[in-house]
Amino acid sequence: MSSTKAEDQKASSDAHRDTRAESLPDNALTDSIAILDFGSQFSQLIARRIREFNIYSELLSCNVSAAELKRLNPKGIILSGGPNSVYDAHAPKCDPELWNLGVPVLGVCYGMQLMAHALGGTVEPSHMREYGRAMLTVVHHGALFASMEPEVESWMSHGDSVSKLPEGFRVIGRTMSTPVAAIANELRDFYGVQFHPEVVHTKNGQQIIKNFVADICGCKGTWTMDKFIDKAIAGVHQKAQGKRVLLALSGGVDSSTLAFLLHKAIGDNLTCMFIDQGFMRKNEPEWLVETFERDFKIPVHFVKARDRFLAKLEGVVDPELKRKAIGTEFIRVFEEESKRLGPFDYLAQGTLYPDVIESAGTRIDPTTGEPVAVKIKSHHNVGGLPKDLQFQLIEPFAKLFKDEVRKVALELGVPDGIRQRHPFPGPGLAIRVLGEVTKERLKTLRDADWIIREEIKAHGLYRQVWQIFGVLLPTLSVGVMGDQRTYQNSIAIRAVTSEDGMTADWARLPYDLLETISSRIVNEVNGINRVVYDITSKPPATIEWE
């Protein structure tokens, strides 16, 4: 590698490192797995799968330098999949010195092809591409495939294949269409699989991941939430002792759990602010404030701003414009109230690891080979607050996934009503009222949504779905009620199952439950004469309609 390329690679690595790399937990520095992201839609999923074994994992840009990896001292490295061919003009590569770090490496899909290509093998376009399920035959039950069945149902997604192995490698798995579907150099602890063990479609794929991170890499599984809590509280206490901290409380799992953690760390130096923008579900603002103040002695500054927000949405129907209008007004209200209540030294945010990954730009553009941040839609949070507020940030959850925050909440004693709460968008019901948002349309949706949630809980299925909610459609339909023709609104029910929200399937709810919900909505909610059920998965649809 030329000195110019080395300098460019180091600069790219430093740009992705930022201060978050400095905040790794102590045990992660000696007992962790580094995942290099080459653009796969499943890269985050690899990280989550590893953490299910209480082993810390971190997703890094594929441009990270070997020197930086050495500093982080992972016990193993995983190269993710990606959309490129290794022969593309801008195909992402890794630092060649990575192969000399002396730690085990597992290449997944594109990662396997990159490994083979970089170490002297050959990769060629396949005569038969494989997309979807394929039966893998285990040729060699070595360390990677220990305890696996001879035949494994795997999930493939590739157009290229390894046609010639690098020196020292052997084939350990094949399919009917791919003779080289898994490879290993057990002397150097280098492994590659052409399929995706991290997805649920690969039967017992977790065993393969465990074999690599626990048995091959020797990670002990010390990444636990009780230890995280102790370290986070100590860190916040040390950083903000005697200082005032402001938290924008939304009522969701993340900000609520953060409020509990901060209150344990700094007590009355925490100020929670809840801005009622008028787009929450029925009775939620009052319940939230009462729960925090009465049951947990955490005071909440309640800001009533419904009329202000509603006025900003008058005549607005485009979902992106809705989000921007709500976000802008939120900033204005937050700024006014924080100055009135302040001064504050720190702003606390419930930022999660997926937010950090997206903003850091670990994803690679297949046409340029450059890191990019992918945005499907605008997010509404306090991340857009103006810099002149002069806050320093406290983000204890910036390395956690949503399911890990729920575990933290359980350890802290956060009530089930908050801890098990389904994800709820920042703009709230404003993006579930399709078309213009009015006070009357919000009330209609609130009443219908209340019935939906009440019935799903009565049937004991609330925790079986990732999200369930109503969507008020912008069209009227003909109906018959009381022997009279009606021309009224329709409600769509959206219910999905998911592990992380990155992909989702529509929930197969019992017909009798759907019938009960439909009957109650039509009879109890004025202006509704039709209820429909959304049976679209993600992808191609998103979970929210807007």
The residues carrying an active-site annotation are: 109, 196, 198
For residues 394 and 266, the answer to whether their CB atoms sit within 8 Å is no
Whether the CB-CB separation of 155 and 201 falls below 8 Å is answered with yes
> Whole-angstrom Cα distance, residue 355 to residue 402?
11
Which residue, chain included where needed, has tokens 């399937």? 505
Q: Cα 356 from chain centroid?
A: 10
Please write down the HEC assignment for all residues of 338-397. Answer: HHHHCCCCEEECCCCHHHHHHHHCCEECCCCCCEECCCCCCCCCHHHCCHHHCCEEECCC
Task: Please give the order of strands across the beta sheet that includes 346-348.
Answer: 300-304, 270-276, 245-248, 346-348, 392-394
What angle (nearest 5°) sits at the alpha carbon of residue 518, between those of residues 517 and 520?
A: 65
Find tokens 């010639």 and name the residue.
Answer: 164
- CA 322 from chain centre, in angstroms, equals 23
CA-closest candidate to residue 113, choices 174, 160, 51: 160
What does the alpha-carbon distance between residue 389 and residue 347 come to, in Å, rounded to a whole number? 10
Which residue type is seen at 447? Answer: D
Q: Following DSSP, what letter does each residue of 432-458 receive, concatenated?
A: TB-SS--HHHHHHHHHHHHHHHHHHHH
Quick check: 58 and 35 in contact, CB under 8 A? yes
CA gap 194, 112 in Å, rounded: 6
Question: Mutual orientation of helices 253-266 and 225-240 as an angle, nearest 10°?
Answer: 60
Residue (of 273, 274, 270) closest to 244 by Cα position? 270
| Rounded Cα gap, residues 335 and 46, in angstroms | 39
- Nearest Cα residue to 83 out of 357, 339, 372: 372
| Residue 126 CA neighbour count, 13 Å, CB half | 21
Whether the CB-CB separation of 206 and 51 falls below 8 Å is answered with no
318-356 burial, b for 16+ CB within 10 Å, e for fewer?
Answer: ebeebbbbbbebbeebbeebbeeeeebbbbbbbbbbbbb
d(CA 175, CA 130): 10
